[in-house]
Structure 1
Amino acid sequence: MHITHCPECQTAFKVSPQQLELAKGWVRCGRCSHVFEAALHFEASTEIPAPPQPSAHAPSLFRAAMAPASASAPSAASVDVAMPVAWLAGATLLLMTLVMQWVLVQRNWLAAHEPAVRPLLASLCACEITWPREPEAVLIESSSFTENPQGGYTVQLRLKNTQHHPVAMPALELSLTDLQDQILVRRVFTAQELSGKDHVQALRDVRTTLNFDLDDKVSQRVIGFRAFIFYP
C-alpha cells in the first residue's frame, strides 16, 4: 500500500498496487477531482498526518478554518480507475458501429470491387448482394434504328461501363417519334431483354439488338427514336 499526495490540494490517501496497475499509475483526487500520476507524489511515511486540532484559545474564525472536514465530506480521495477503461470501451464500440453501418450501406459497391467478400457481406446483412446501380456510369456509345426489308424494326445499341468496377445492367426506354418529334409509342426493355447478364463488366462494352413489330398505322408515321437507359 502506498500513500500519495494530490499536487493541487495536498490531500493524502492510500492506493494499492492493484489500483495503480489497473489505472496505469493515474488516480483522481476525491476532494478536488484533479487527475495525476500517483508515483510522482509518493511519501515515505506510511502514516497520514492528522489535521491540526484548533486551539481552544484561538478566535472562532480561525477555529472554524482549522476544524476537520465534516462526516459527510470524504476523508480520503477515491481512485477513479473505471472512467478511462469505460471511455475507451465506449469509443471502440461506437467506432465499430459506424464501420459496420458504412459496410452495410456500401455492401454492393464493396462486393463489386472484391467479389470474394460477397458471401461474407450477404451473411452480415442477411440480404441479397446486388451489383451497384450507377446511372452515370453506363453510357450509350452508339445506337441505330432501322426498318427491316422483310418487315419489323431493329434497334442496335452499344452500352459502355465507364467505371473501374462492375455495375448493374440498366433497363432501356425506347420512344418512337413522328415528323413533329411527338412520341407515337413508348416501350421499356428490361435488363434481361437487353443482355443475358445482370451486370456490365468494368470498362467493357455490351452490344444488344432488339427486334420488334409495329402496327401499320404507327409504322407509317415513325420518323425517329429516342433511347434512354435507367434503373427501375
Structure 2
Amino acid sequence: MTNAGLIAWAFLGVLGLVFQASLFFKDELAAHQPDLRPALAQLCLWANCKVGPLKQADAVVIDHAAIDQLSSSLDPLDTAASLHWAFEVHLRNSAKVPVATPWIELTLTDAQDQAVMRKVLDLSQWGAPPVMAAGDILPMSLQLSLVNPEVNFVGYRLLTFYP
C-alpha cells in the first residue's frame, strides 16, 4: 500500500470519528452552538436520530419548594377533605444555555426521615415548557392528594432528574 492509500484510510478514519462524536454530542453541540443545529439535524436524518434539548442534571436547581394543606375538615370521619395539598416549586436554570425541563421526584418522609411515599412528577403534564431558557425561573403550583389517608408525613425531599 502506498503512502497515498494510508493517508486516505487515515482521513476516512478521522471523518468516521468526527461523525460518531457529532452524533454522540449532538445535543450539547446544538445547545452551545445554535448555528450548528441545522447541520446536526441533517446529520440525524441520515443516522435516524433527533436533536433534542440539552439534558444537564446539575443545571436546574430548586430555588423554592413548599407543601401546604389546602383544606381540613372539622369532621374527623371526613378524610377526603383533609387530603388535598398545595405543592409549589420554583426551578431555575443556572446554565448559560437552554436545557430540557426535568422531572421531579417528591418523597414524603416521617419523623425519622424515612420515606413513606414517593411520587414522580412530569411537569409537562401541568403545563411546563419542554425547554427552560438560560437563567429562566419556572414557578409551578400543583394540587396533590394522598391516596392512602393513613400516611402521615412531616417532611419531604425533592430531586430533579431526566428520565
Aligning the two structures, in what range does the TM-score lie when normalised by the shorter sequence?
A: 0.7 to 0.9
**Going by fraction, where is strand more abundant, 1 or 2?**
2
Aligned pair count reads: 150
SS at match of 1:86: helix
Residue 193, structure 1, aligned to residue 125, structure 2: yes
SS at match of 1:102: helix
Using the TM superposition, give the Cα deviation of residue 215 of structure 1 relative to its aligned residue in structure 2, in angstroms. Answer: 4.4
Tell me if structure 2 keeps the 8 A contact 1:184–1:218: no
1:148 corresponds to = 70
Tell me if structure 2 keeps the 8 A contact 1:153–1:212: yes
2:108 corresponds to = 176
Separation of aligned partners in 2, 1:191 and 1:112: 21
TM-score (norm 1): 0.58
TM-score (norm 2): 0.79
Aligned Cα root-mean-square deviation (Å)? 2.2
Tell me if structure 1 keeps the 8 A contact 2:57–2:162: yes
Q: Which runs of 5+ in 1 are unaligned?
A: 1-81
Residue 121, structure 1, aligned to residue 52, structure 2: no
Using the TM superposition, give the Cα deviation of residue 183 of structure 1 relative to its aligned residue in structure 2, in angstroms. Answer: 2.2
> 1:116-143: CA deviations, max 9, x gaps?
4334323312212111211111111121
Alignment of 1:77-92 (within 5 A): 83-92=2-11
Separation of aligned partners in 1, 2:162 and 2:10: 39
Q: 1:215 to 1:124 in 2, by over 3 A?
A: closer
- Percent of aligned pairs sharing the same letter: 31
Tell me if structure 2 keeps the 8 A contact 1:168–1:200: yes
Counterpart AA for 1:186: R
Counterpart AA for 2:68: T
Separation of aligned partners in 2, 1:201 and 1:210: 22
Separation of aligned partners in 1, 2:97 and 2:110: 39
Q: Which runs of 5+ in 2 are unaligned?
A: 73-80
1:222 corresponds to = 153
Higher normalized contact order (CA 8 Å, seq sep 6+, divided by chain length): 2
2:16 corresponds to = 97
- Higher-Rg member (1/2): 1
Tell me if structure 2 keeps the 8 A contact 1:171–1:194: no
Separation of aligned partners in 2, 1:223 and 1:193: 27
Residue of 103, 116, 135 corresponding to 2:57 = 135
Q: 1:184 to 1:191 in 2, by over 3 A?
A: same
Using the TM superposition, give the Cα deviation of residue 109 of structure 1 relative to its aligned residue in structure 2, in angstroms. Answer: 1.0
